[in-house]
Amino acid sequence: MIGTTILIIFAAYFGILYLISVLISRGSSDNDAFFVANRKSPWYIVAIGMIGTSVSGVTFVSVPGMVGAFNMSYMQMVFGFFFGYLVVAYLLLPLYYKLNLTSIYTYLDQRFGNYSYKTGASFFILSRIIGSAAKLYLVALILQTLVFDHWHIPFWMTVSGIILFIWIYTRKSGIKTIVWTDTLQTLSFIIAAILIIWQVSSLLKLDLGEAISTISNSPHSKIFHFEWKSPLNFFKQFFSGIFIVIVMTGLDQDNMQKNLTCKNLKDARKNMLTYGFLFTPINFLFLSLGILLLVFASQQGITLPTVSDEILPYLVSNYLGLPCLIFFTIGIIGASFANADSALASLTTSFCVDILGMNQNNDKEANTTRKRVHIGMSIVFILVILFIHHIGQDNILNTIYKVASYTYGPLLGLFGLGLFTKVQIKDKFAPIVCILTPIICYLIEETLAASFNYKVGYEILMLNGLLTVIGLLIISERKTTPKLT
């Protein structure tokens, strides 16, 4: 019964997305539409859709699940996120619009040279494939557990089917379609989260005021931590949050591609500030849900799974009733699809523009190339998800941020040196520096843990960026070049 219900919801949801894609692609399905939506997207639509791109199914599942182990300490990083969005809105967006970029990594070509350009794009492709595949892996695993295991359908078929659905509704107009479908999907998972909280509160016999009181009085409501050796230390979390947004939003083709579909810089900035402001209450909402779930489990004497990512799916499928299951299914599909579809489009864009050197022209050969790359990226997604499933993970959100701290560090260094100095580098050595710095960071992290019992958190991103800058300065030339700002 549960499996059939979820499958019906999934089919109906996909049908709505496909209908939207058909209506959008009637106007134009060329490369200009696929890459930058003809630069005609309303800023408020982009702002809503970007929430879905950043939140994903991982937030829907991992954030409520992490409360038991980490309380509400995640909010320390979320507070840092907001200041990161200010940096992106007032420093990076003006640069991208001034240079009229399709791919943001084209800046590195103009500033340093072709080797730096290709290196930056390659690190983005690597990081985005791993991050987005990890996020989609979680929803695939949940669907597999709740539905397809009962029908003896293998996991690889489930993953392939999900990617196929995403490819179908994004293949014609790419980002032009995604701007609108992601808006629907963002609203879907936010409404779903609110309805689940309402349902859990009803089961606990709590009205709104009592629910708020229960959350605030819980020992898990603690936000601030100041133990210096702890990875939950406020300063580590806060400043890591700022830099994570700078790299995972401002230096990320996926997120910036949506911003660059706005008509002008003013609209793009309004989109970024609105989106950044809304991100804080949305994450607080998911953490509040996590506390209510712990209260419910304690009241009912339920033994929760040891893997934090399994807590919400376990309670929804076994204890919270059919309404919660429906809300949960809609929410996690909406959140996961909103992240994966834009990732697939941005990876296709980056590979076409940055690696293959193809611009957004409309000739038949360029369109054919873009379509082939889109299929290729879909296949890569499937393979990476299957690899993640093979190695297994506990808290996917933590894994994503950790991977980002290593793979986005070189991008932070490249853009930081380019924006704030006039230094010119020996371009051909840039790939060597950018490959070595994450390796050095890993060795430093292991040494600190073994010798000083110091657990490195996401602040490794800042060290990674700093070491990249130092390495680039070592290979700098005596002559300088004007900044492109």
| Digit-coded pLDDT (tens) for 373-423 | 889 999 998 998 898 887 765 556 677 777 888 888 999 999 999 998 999
User: By percentage, how much of the chain surpasses pLDDT 90?
Assistant: 28
Q: Is 376 left (phi over 0), alpha (psi -120 to 50) or beta?
A: alpha
Residues with Cβ within 8 Å of residue 364, at least 6 apart in sequence: none
CA atoms within 13 A on the CB side of 335: 27
Tally: H helices and E strands in the chain: 20, 2
What pTM was computed for the model? Answer: 0.78
Is 32's pLDDT higher than 70? no
| Cα(238)–Cα(244) distance, integer angstroms | 10
**H or E stretch including 281?**
helix 265-300
Instruction: Name the amino acid, one letter, at 438.
Output: P
Choose among 436, 438, 422: nearest CA to 477: 422
Task: Name the amino acid, one letter, at 330.
Answer: I
pLDDT for residue 101: 80
pLDDT at 481 over 60: no
DSSP state of 423: E
Strand partners, 423: 480
SS3 358: coil
Q: How confident is the model at residue 174 (pLDDT cuts 50, 70, 90)?
A: low
Q: How far is CA 329 from CA 11, 195, 251, in A?
A: 12, 12, 32
In the beta sheet, which residues pair with residue 262? 41
Please give the mean pLDDT across all residues of the chain. Answer: 83
- Count of beta carbons in the 10 Å neighbourhood of residue 124: 26
Measured distance CA(301)–CA(304) in Å, rounded? 9
Cα–Cα distances in Å, from 142 out to 21, 148, 236, 328, 333? 26, 9, 32, 11, 10
In order, the DSSP letters of 186-219 are HHHHHHHHHHHHHHHHHHTT--HHHHHHHHHHSG
174 or 232: which carries more pLDDT confidence?
232
**Distance of alpha carbon 207 from alpha carbon 212, whole angstroms:** 9
C-beta of residue 461 within 8 angstroms of C-beta of residue 403: no
Reported as a single tens digit per residue, the pLDDT across 70-109 is: 889 999 999 999 999 999 999 999 988 888 887 888 999 9
The residue whose two tokens read 């009803």 is 202
Supply 263's token pair: 């008509």
Task: Please list, in sequence order, all residues whose beta carbon lies within 8 angstroms of the beta carbon of residue 342, skipping any fewer than 6 positions away.
Answer: 49, 53, 175, 178, 182, 254, 257, 258
Q: What is the DSSP string of 467-485?
A: HHHHHHHHTEEEEE-----
pLDDT at 387: 87
Cα-based angle 313, 316, 321 (whole degrees, multiple of 5): 165
